[in-house]
Structure 1
Amino acid sequence: MTGRPTDMTIKSAPTLLWMRRGLLAAFTILAVWLLVRLILALSAPSSLWTPVLVAGPAPVSAVATRTYDFTYNPFAAGDSVGETVVSVDTGDDAPETTLNLQLKGLRSGENGTAFIRTPDGQEDNVYIGEEIMPGVFLRGVFPSHALIDVNGQTQRLTTEDAKAARNRASSSQSAASSPRSGLQTIRSADATALLSQIQIIPSFDLDMTRNGVMVKPRTSAVDLSAFGLRDGDIITRFAGQSVVSGLPDIGALRRSAGSGQPVTVDLIRDGQTMTITIGSSS
């Protein structure tokens, strides 16, 4: 009796068989799905993921929520509505003061100050509106000068650097206005010897405009002073021939120098134009 299967054993055998078949089918489907994914990963990787869509910015309304006032033009030269133009007198036409005052330093601006030395040797930092000395008040401070009120008259007090720059500019204008500020006659040297002992180098102004040829000695033994010249002189005309534009005609210069007649040379020395005569027989 123990060797015969029971009714429970006979009934459970088909159930186990169907369970095995179900598991086998599930594993088969899973294997097929994994195989398909593997094939897609090798052939078309981009198809395995779905791009994430990011929401764009909200559309801008056609009607602006901010309003602007275009009645005011900040770039207009004083004709805007409600704009007040303040004219600042810098005292450019005011005379330079004759008082024994020295402007040692300054800080320009609305609340500017000036460091001033008075005739008694005292130095003090003076603010606009303050009294410098009896009857003299500081009226304004600007980058290169200060304005002072001397018994009701406006006068300038200029810094020493600005005075020096103005004097240099005046000297340059005076030199430019006098085309020939000097005349020298050299009798001891020969013009032909001059051409054989100097180098002629083109010379240019700061704006690269040709202004003549510069004179340089060929050797250290050459004494240019025997010809009335200095190292660095700029010749503009030699024996009536201009050497400012183009190359000088050396042959014509030598013929002029060898004629036995005095040769006139126009040159620029230290910013001043002068004329010398080489080879005068008198």
Structure 2
Amino acid sequence: MRYLVLVLEISLAALTLYVMALLFWDFISPKLPVAETGSIAVPTRMKSGAVTDWTVFATVNPFYRDQKSEIVEDTVLADARETNLDLELFGIRFSPDGKGVAIIRTPDKQQGAFRVGDEIFNGVVLNRVLQDRVAIERAGVLEVLTFPGQQGTGQLGPTEAAQDKAK
């Protein structure tokens, strides 16, 4: 019994020293400036005066290092209209070949990760994942889903064009 208490005391002492070391490291480590929104404000100039080129993240996909990211654009998608379904786009995992993953909130208010070809709900299939939007297919017609507050393709769909001409 005596040895068990000794082992327990040594374990607690080691744990206490570990936590104290973590706290010490937290106090002496350099702090990054934080914006009012709570996100980290990353400086564009380092102390050495070198300018950081952040555009590399727009052209290189870290998951496919041997491939350059190219905007996959299709003439069919250029004519696609913004969907009116109760869907909301939350995230995109873009792949240069258009076969990425999208995080979408469905009409039942549940979020899910969908791959290209997956059925989002009855009759609605994820067709393509682009850098800034996704294409869904509903009854054989392509529609575009963008992030909230983001404009769609800028093209008017057939019904919207007819409504616009009627005005």
TM over 0.5: no
**Highest RCO, 1 vs 2 (Cα 8 Å, sep ≥ 6):** 2
Larger Rg: 1 or 2? 1
Query: TM-score under structure 1 normalisation?
Result: 0.26
